[in-house]
Every structure is written in structure tokens, then in C-alpha cells.
Amino acid sequence: MANTTFNGPVRSENGFQDISVAESTGVETTNSTFGNNTSIGGTLGVTGVTSATGGIVIGAASSTQLISVTVTTDTIAVTHSTNVDVSFTQPAGTIIRNLIAIPAGNIVTGGSSGDDLDFDLGTSAGGGQIIDEKAILDDGGSAVTWTANAPLYIIQNSHGHAANQFVSTSTTAGVVGGPATSEAIVIAGTLYTSAARTLHARLKALASDLGTAATTVTYLVQFLHLGTTPDQ
């Protein structure tokens, strides 16, 4: 059949297939399928921006997979003791590789000792099963600033880290614009799950109101699946 050109959308209830036929045997091979799920048996070239709704999976099912999701908080009020919660799903058979928090605007503590901004990560909201209320902005009496668009690796390469590691100096791996003082990030529970689970991230200002907020924080969470897991 020759090429066919349609003026208007092409519709199918059962998807589309791209096939090839061997000249010598007539055997058909399905190269790509297009439907609710799309499988491409070659190289996908994209010109322009690609948008994905939901997670992104890189790697074959039987190989190392890197899976990522993003979630964004509601607007963070300056009012202290307000819980700012978001949740996301960790896929089955994965560990948390990185959890990166990025504010859309500056967040500044109140400037009195104990005016911290705490982060909590758990299997229940505020439960602290993985990270139990650690100050990512640790106010010891001077206001601490988290600059807009400065990414904080709260979990990095499946590890926590020592205190004051978010600030960029000649001896740390922090980031320009990161808070000068922070508590150590202690991983309290396993980062691996054999079954899919819902995790809850919480930000909460302690003691006094924040000096500056009225912005959002986006979490980029990356999971690593190593194909066949140790318990399989």
C-alpha cells in the first residue's frame, strides 16, 4: 500500500503498530506499539520540550532503573507551628537515592534561638520514620536564609550528612544560597521498600514566625531500582 495522508485526527480503539516484514520469510515483526502504553523499538528523537505527567523511569525492567517524581507544597505561611505537608509514592523494590528540596522564593527564619525550620519524612504525616524533625534552617539567634532556587540535597546518594553541610564553603559540598547552619540529617529508618509505599514530607517553623516565606518548595525525589533485589 502506498503512503496515505489524512486531513484530521487518525483514531483507533485498539492502538497502532509499526511492523516490518522479512522479504525472505514473510515473518512480521512488531517494532513499536502506540496505545495507552507506548513501546518504541528504536531511537526516539525529540525536538523541543517534553512534558511528563507522573514519574519518569529510565532503564529496562530487569536492569538498573532510575525513577523520579516531583511534588510541590502549598504556599508556606510565615506562621510558626504550621505543618506544610506533601506526599508521594515510593515504587516497589526501590531505595531513595536523592531527595532534593528547592524553594521558589527566599525562606528566612525569625532570628531568635530556636526559630528553626524543621524537615520530617515518614510513612505517616509527621511520623519521622525516615527523618525525624531535623532543622534544615537552624536558627541559633541569627536569622538563617535559604535562598530562592538553591537546591538542598536532604538525602544524597542514599545518605544523610553532618551539620552545616548545606552552605557552600571551601571545605563542604554545599550550594551557593544554602542555609549557613543546619542540623545533621540522620536517616532513622530504611530507605528501601519491597512494596510501594506512601511517604510524607513535612516542613514546620518552630517557636516563632518565619521572617520571610510566602513561597513554595518543590521536592525532586529520585529512586533507584536495581533489577532483581537482594530478597528475591
The predicted structure's pLDDT at residue 24: 78
- Give me the residue label for grid cell 510558626: 80
pTM above 0.85, yes or no: no
Q: pLDDT (tens digit, 9 = 90+) per residue, 21-78?
A: 777 777 777 777 766 666 666 666 666 555 555 555 555 555 567 789 999 999 999 9
**Measured between alpha carbons, how far is residue 171 from residues 17, 33, 53, 130, 206 in Å?**
56, 51, 39, 27, 29
Q: How far apart are CA 176 and CA 47, in angstroms?
A: 32
- Maximal CA-CA distance, the chain: 81
Q: By three-state DSSP, how is residue 155 classified?
A: strand
* pLDDT per position as a tens digit, 104-123: 999 999 999 999 999 999 99
Residue ranges covered by each domain of the chain: 56-226
DSSP β-bridge partners for residue 101: 152, 219
Tell me which of 25-29, 95-99, 184-188 is least confident: 25-29
- Cell matching residue 28: 512480521
Residue 77 DSSP code: P
Position 17, amino acid: Q
pLDDT score at 229: 47
